[in-house]
Structure 1
């Protein structure tokens, strides 16, 4: 069969016949055959949600949390800076920052610690809290709910806040369920579940434990007339079985599916996972080969699902004499930069003095890549040439880099717009999944 098409290079107005061999029904049959696959792709791989991802999670035990905890962490972090690196030059010398980055990074770190020292607060009722009498944990969970509700009401809450409960293993299952119930009920009675609420389920080993969490949250939603799926949760990967199942399959992939769309993150537990594999305490760290393997499996399993991967923490605290603090800061900074280069954009912080190096590493990372990313995205948006051939997926990555820099405070929208010519909504249009073609370019 033949079809006329406008010819190029054949003279103005001339039409050229294009030969085809297949009937239209063939394409329709193939589309019908692949319709279930299309639906499966859309269900299983919806893409990144496009919401802000915190750069870290701060863990505070349930009996220690107080109304002023976030401000206290910020003040302690600023005091550590004042004592051990009081100006931009000394801070840059500790971390090896270039002269060009020294001032901007130092200034932004101080501003961040004054404005928003904690991006994600997790009130811990698991390892950081331990086993307590039921009445004591009940009261602590109820108190945590009151503090969270009050913080959101006053506008002093971290952008993300929630709790980590005990796991679904038999010995502590009932206690974990009750703590979660007490906490969530307290929030509902105090005015409702806040935006930015995050729940963490630790020591997940089998997908069935994820299914149990789904059923628990579904029951709570029905009890309070909440929309189905309102409550999501993070899955903490702390055992070898969570990465590789007995049958050789990647357990984390099955866990994501078992969550039925409720999983928001996979969080790597550095020390529990290392101990599970028999790594000696002196070598338990987030850059150990065992850690790299676990996180790589997590990353591949989560890719495209909308579930985000978080790195773990370091247990080397920046405390004591200045020399010791500087050593701990260099270690922490290096681990964060290593994680960012591997696309792990979130981690854990265990001490207020970790905050200066958390933000220094994040800010330096985004500012170092800022001008090049902005120039490449601007060329792509203008369909202009350059020395790099960009793909739609690369444009998505470039805009994602800029948006993450904006969200954490490493970049300002004025400077991003100046170099790219793009507003924030325009940047977001590059990262938004396109129905049926998630890598299609933005208009």
Structure 2
């Protein structure tokens, strides 16, 4: 059939429009990241966090009704949520862990940090967690950059080959140039340690105004992702550095502030379609002390986790073992409340297409992704998802798109 446009013309246009492929983060996304100063970690840390969370649950919410009364679990779901939270705390309390060499660690003598870096490598190799790594120091000054990269070098050299799920968190990023510099360092480390190309990836902490809007008035996140050349695996929001830098008073430095919503919205639209994962920040209102203080800490954390989930942030920071109770309670309630309706819509999409809602392929992928996350974290079983959707696990995975 006769046409006017030739293939060479269209191929040339397509080549100009093509963009570098961003590597999608592999494996499941953890529901949280726990941060622990590197000098306070030991081989029993994940188990101790689980035991401490179970002790807090037993002391302050010994049954489903007690926990429901504190955080507002739906009465019909409370028994299921409670039992699954308790089982999670017994079997896999920590999904993701960072050994912190930055704010929670401070500045030490080089010999001290060298020793902690060596021990960090041994801990990371021994824990066997689904995901774990370290937060290095920022690149704010030459001295911090040198110390940051020496710690990373020591850890990776001692490991030889990083364990599956190894992650590096890069804090206080202020420019794409800093991201490009870290990517360059990782290039060299991979070459000299004989590691597979691209295996070393990192998370950018969005915790400065310049990591949201650059000095020339542009959105900063897209340029930072591009500067990482496929090595950026996630964007993690930093609540308190960001709100303080924005000039907010202490009372207004919290995750639900509109300034934080703006930053997260920029993160979300900038990362959409790139395969880069999103993580919310932390709350420093901890569930410790007397019953009133624990209740307040749990209520605050539960509310903020539910809010993040509804905004499309499926991961967040946890700073204390007792926060694991409300992390999993919030995540499990979210999935249990939405699973039946999501399953019906997905089944309708794959079936006759009849029904009150006509979904697009992108929505079907999002529904499948949500159900897969529910199974990954223990909120639902594969059998329950199958009952809701009529799909096997491999069929569900095939629907998920980066």
Aligned equivalent of 1:36: 15
Cα displacement string for residues 215-251 of structure 1 (whole angstroms, at most 9, x for unaligned residues):
1111111111112111000011111011111111111
Aligned residues: 401
Indicate conservation of the 8 Å contact 1:50/1:432, yes or no.
no
Report whether the alignment pairs 1:186 with 2:165.
no
Match of 2:58 in 1: 82
What secondary structure does 1:282 align onto? helix
Does residue 24 in structure 1 map to residue 7 in structure 2? no
For 1:296 and 1:195, locate their aligned partners in 2 and report how far apart those are by CA, in whole Å: 30
Match of 1:160 among 123, 131, 135: 131
Instruction: Within 5 Å, give how 1:104-123 maps onto structure 2.
Output: 104-123=80-99
Distance 1:248 1:110, change over 3 A: same
Of residues 329, 347, 352, the one that matches 1:360 is 329
Q: Please list, as runs of the form range in 1=range in 2, the aligned pairs for 1:44-83 lying within 5 A after superposition.
A: 44=21, 48-49=24-25, 51-83=27-59
Structure whose CA Rg is larger = 1
Aligned to 2:382: 413
* CA distances 1:312-367 after superposition (whole Å, capped 9, x unpaired): 00001101111211111111000000000000111000000100000000000011
The superposition leaves residues 152-180 of structure 1 with CA deviations (integer Å, 9 ceiling, x where unpaired) of xxxxx321000001011224111101000
Helix, strand or coil for the counterpart of 2:76? helix
User: Counterparts of 1:44 and 1:296 in 2: how far apart (Å)?
Assistant: 23
TM-score (norm 1): 0.88
Is residue 2:188 matched to residue 1:219?
A: yes
Q: TM-score, normalised by structure 2?
A: 0.97
Q: Indicate if the aligned counterparts of 2:50 and 2:90 stay in contact, CA closer than 8 A.
A: yes
The residue number in structure 2 matching 1:424 is: 393
Question: What's the counterpart of residue 393 of structure 1?
Answer: 362
3-state SS in 1 of match to 2:18: helix
Contact kept, 8 Å, 1:50 with 1:431, in 2: the verdict is: no
Find the aligned partners of 2:22 and 2:179 in 1 and give their Cα distance.
19
Q: Find the aligned partners of 1:365 and 1:278 in 2 and give their Cα distance.
A: 33
SS at match of 2:198: coil
Cα deviation, residue 51, structure 1: 2.8
Deviates more, 1:71-80 or 1:384-393: 384-393
Counterpart-to-counterpart distance in 1, 2:176 and 2:338: 38
Would you say 1:172 and 2:151 are equivalent positions? no
Q: For the Cα contact (< 8 Å) 1:122–1:164, is it kept in 2?
A: yes
Q: 2:106 aligns with which of 123, 126, 130?
A: 130
Give 1:27 shift.
6.6
Shift of 1:273: 0.5
SS at match of 1:214: helix
Q: Distance in 2 between matches of 1:206 and 1:69?
A: 34
In structure 2, the residue matched to 1:6 is none
Unaligned runs of 5+ in 2: none
Question: SS state of the match for residue 391, structure 2?
Answer: coil
Deviations 1:116-160, CA, capped at 9 Å, x for gaps:
000100000000100100000000000110122122xxxxx3210
Do the aligned residues in 1 keep the contact of 2:287 with 2:294 (CA within 8 Å)?
A: yes
With over 3 angstroms needed to count, the CA separation of the structure-2 counterparts of 1:428 and 1:30, relative to structure 1, is: farther
Asked if the contact 2:50/2:321 (under 8 Å) is kept, the reply is yes
* C-alpha distance 245-38 of structure 1, shift in aligned 2 (>3 A): closer
- Alpha-carbon distance, 1:31 to partner: 3.1
Q: State the Cα distance separating 1:406 from its structure 2 match.
A: 0.8
Q: In the TM superposition, what whole-angstrom CA distance separates every residue of 1:394-427 from its partner, at most 9, and x where no partner exists?
A: 1111101101111111110011112211111111
Cα deviation 1:366-391 (Å, max 9, x = unaligned)? 11000000011011111331110111
Aligned CA-pair RMSD: 1.4
- Quote how far apart the aligned CAs of 1:193 are: 1.4
